[in-house]
A and B are shown apart, each in its own frame.
Chain A
Amino acid sequence: MDINATLIGQAIWFGVFIWITMKADRQKLIADGLAAGERGKHELELAGKRSADAMREAKEKAAEVISGADKRGAQLIEEAKLAAKVEADKVVAAAKAEIDQEVERARAALRERVAELAVAGAERILKREVDAKAHAEMLAALKQEL
């Protein structure tokens, strides 16, 4: 175990290796930094893509909603039209039926009066007998009354 100049040589080697390691370490740090930067860039890109995707999706959804609303509106209008038509038909039919009824009633009343008038005419004819003039007059009056 003799100490000699080898010691100095070893110290020099040691220094050289520390120096190399320091440089490599710094390079490693820089490389790590670059890698982190790259990762950040990549992530930004991804985020951009994701946001574009989200935007597109939202647009699609909005379009879908709008078209759905349009369809529903048209459907509602159609339904309302249909309902109105049905209602109008119903009203018209009811009015017609009422008119018919009224006419029928009037006719029935008329028929009744016709019978009465016939009976009254017959009475008068029987009372005046052969008075042609009066007869004709009476008939005319009857006609008038009809």
Chain B
Amino acid sequence: MASGEALTTSAYISHHLTNLKVGHGFWTVHLDTLLVSGILGLIVFLGMAILASKATSGVPAGWQNLVEMVLSFVDQQVKDTYHGKSALVTPLAITIFIWVFAMNAMDLIPVDFLPLGLGAAGVHYFKAVPTTDPNLTFGMSLTVFVIMIAMNFKVKGANGFMHEVFTVPFGAKLAPVNLLFRVIEDIAKPISLSLRLFGNMYAGEMVFILIALLGVWQLPLALPWALFHILIITLQAFVFMMLTIVYMSMASESHG
């Protein structure tokens, strides 16, 4: 268990689920979430940028091969679903898939490793998986929401967008109902996006913590759960990406 102090089970769990915080009130910042997600993102995306700048034609090897495989997979998904012209959607989908995958993968580090190491260095709280922080998932989904609204305006124009908001699905006579439906529909999008990711990862992390509580018995349990979790990690990254592509495609296709 985490430290030499006598810890109760609930204290152990809540210790693992507490962020490293700085500040007060709204201006609190979860340093662990920000740092881990930022460092992971910088590593993977700057690595990708470097690979892209050095990309050689012909048969790719090593990392370039892996990156090209992932990129062409995402690119294919975008091509299949999104038929608009925006050059933003593919990079957006790639960013989401790779970043969420990398952050989710932090889940596979055994739950006590980082708290033990950082505890020795004087940091007492550290939540290593950024996607178990709703701040992160909402940060992403709200950004997606803003891009979606912007794309609505850009593709359909202010008039076209307003026309769609007030007349779909029941026609102009029921404009208030249409507006209400549209508002609920659009607000549900970022909430479902972020809560789905957060819920899955939080629950997964919780199971890891509960398994870690079993002492010696965690050994036969942690590995199967980790293997199963690899599936969830990839699936959640894929779902977040796929839904974003779908929202973008809905935003750039006219219904009326």
Contact = CB atoms under 8 A, between A and B. Distances in A.
Interface of A: 1-11, 13-18, 20-25, 27-28, 31-32, 34-35, 38-39
B6 interface: no
Interface of B: 19, 23, 25-30, 33-34, 37-38, 41, 45-46, 48-49, 51-53, 55-58, 71, 87-88, 90-92, 94-95, 99, 130, 133-136, 138-140, 142-143
Nearest to B32: A6
A89 B110 CA distance: 115
B38 A5 contact: no
A5 B27 contact: yes
B57 A38 contact: yes
A28 B138 contact: no
Given A4-B26, A21-B45, A10 B91 contact: no
Nearest to B144: A14
Nearest to A25: B91
Contacts of A5: 23, 26-29
Contacts of A15: 143
A28 B134 contact: no
A1 B134 contact: yes
A31 B64 CA distance: 13
B55 A3 contact: no
B1 to A, nearest CB: 24
B33 A10 contact: yes
Given A6-B30, A27-B49, A18 B95 contact: yes
Contacts of B34: 6, 9-10, 13
A22 B45 contact: no
Contacts of B94: 21, 25
A4 B52 contact: no
A10 B135 contact: yes
Contacts of B41: 13, 16-17
A20 B57 contact: no
Given A5-B27, A14-B95, A24 B52 contact: yes
A13 B29 CA distance: 14
A4 B135 contact: yes
A3 B138 contact: yes
21 contacts: A1-B134, A3-B138, A4-B23, A4-B25, A4-B26, A4-B27, A5-B23, A6-B34, A6-B139, A9-B29, A10-B135, A11-B139, A14-B99, A15-B143, A21-B48, A21-B49, A21-B91, A27-B52, A28-B52, A35-B55, A35-B57
B140 A20 contact: no
Given A11-B139, A17-B45, 6 more contacts: A4-B23, A5-B23, A17-B41, A21-B95, A22-B87, A35-B55
A52 B105 CA distance: 57
Contacts of B92: 18, 21
A6 B33 contact: yes
A20 B49 contact: yes
A17 B93 CA distance: 11
A31 B135 contact: no
A10 B140 contact: yes
A39 B57 CA distance: 9
Nearest to B23: A5
A22 B88 CA distance: 7
Nearest to B135: A6
Nearest to A37: B57
